Amino acid sequence: MVNPMQISQMKFTGLCAFPLTPFNEEGFQEDAFISLIRRLVVAKVNSIGVLGSTGAYAYLNRQERAQVIELALEHARGIPVMAGIGALRVRDILLLAEDAQRLGVQAVMLAPMSYHKLTEDEVFDLYKTVTDHLSIPLCIYDNPGTTNFKFTDELLAQIAQLPFVRSIKIPPISAYLPDAKKRVDSLRKGIPSEVSIGISGDWSGLDGLRAGCDLWYSAIGGLIPETLMDIVHTANQGDFELADRTFQDMEVILDMFRRYGSIRVIACAAKELGIVNNFCLPPPLKPLPEVEQSLLRALIHELQPA
């Protein structure tokens, strides 16, 4: 049975912070994960996105993912938790969706992971099948760099009509405001009003908010949430100039995101901050080159509130 109260529980606004999952062949650093979640609670992020790309969902099996969700829910202090349920095969996605719902997350997010490049028809059917089995909100996770699938606005609009779809996480947009606005407006026109649009790819975050996105899905916000909440808050008050100035301090790190992928940068930064005690991602993923780690060491402490 669908519980409409439950469906409205997840607020897709402000900052949705994506914490790292420190889970590798040495096991799950539970204390480190709890401390990541606690930082999000202290910063009062609007929602927590566990098992996103930065949360290494694609590398974790069903049991490992359930462990992560349980721990997040236990420590989220009522902040809505959204969990990634992506997998290559629909059968597995449905099992992961079932687990996530049973454990009590407030929403799920789903990227069309692929090995064989998927067709539009396949991707639509994928979301159709999954939403047929859902009773909580779903966020369409558009991440062409990892899924090898490029959504068109037409397809997003079609999927957004499905029941339980409540948000679309879009990839980085143009830094040129008129183009960015055009893209957000055009997407907005095709989707129901209850479906929010969230920007992702942290270097594009402020560009997204400026162009009218409803929220920021942030990987760096999973690590230094207070700083990010500050930026989002300032931007939402309309002072983009001030938001930009704070944001500029992150430029070097965000440039590393582009070159090395945010997951490796965040994992190394978490080590520099003493949150995790070693490189916490599963092989084949490896840490940044030593020279970039030194640079990160010099920069990351500056980005935290004193």
Binding site for a second copy (CB under 8 A): 25, 53, 58-59, 88-91, 112-119, 121-123, 125-126, 129, 145-146, 148, 260-261, 263-264, 282-286
Residue 156 CA neighbour count, 13 Å, CB half: 29
Of 76 and 296, which has the nearer Cβ to a second copy? 296
Q: Please, are residues 197 and 168 in contact by the beta-carbon 8 Å criterion?
A: yes
Of 89 and 102, which has the nearer Cβ to a second copy? 89
Of 44 and 133, which has the nearer Cβ to a second copy? 133
At 259, the amino acid letter reads R
In the complex, the smallest distance separating the C-beta of residue 118 from a second copy, rounded to whole angstroms, is 6
Of 57 and 247, which has the nearer Cβ to a second copy? 57
Q: What is the CA radius of gyration of the chain?
A: 18
- Burial (CB count within 10 angstroms: exposed 0-12, middle 13-18, buried 19+), residue 161: exposed
Q: Which positions ≥6 away from 207 have C-beta within 8 Å?
A: 172, 173, 174, 175, 177, 180, 199
Rounded to a whole number of angstroms, the distance between the first and last alpha carbons of the chain is 47
In the complex, the smallest distance separating the C-beta of residue 191 from a second copy, rounded to whole angstroms, is 22
In the complex, the smallest distance separating the C-beta of residue 189 from a second copy, rounded to whole angstroms, is 27
In the complex, the smallest distance separating the C-beta of residue 256 from a second copy, rounded to whole angstroms, is 13
Of 135 and 146, which has the nearer Cβ to a second copy? 146
In the complex, the smallest distance separating the C-beta of residue 57 from a second copy, rounded to whole angstroms, is 8
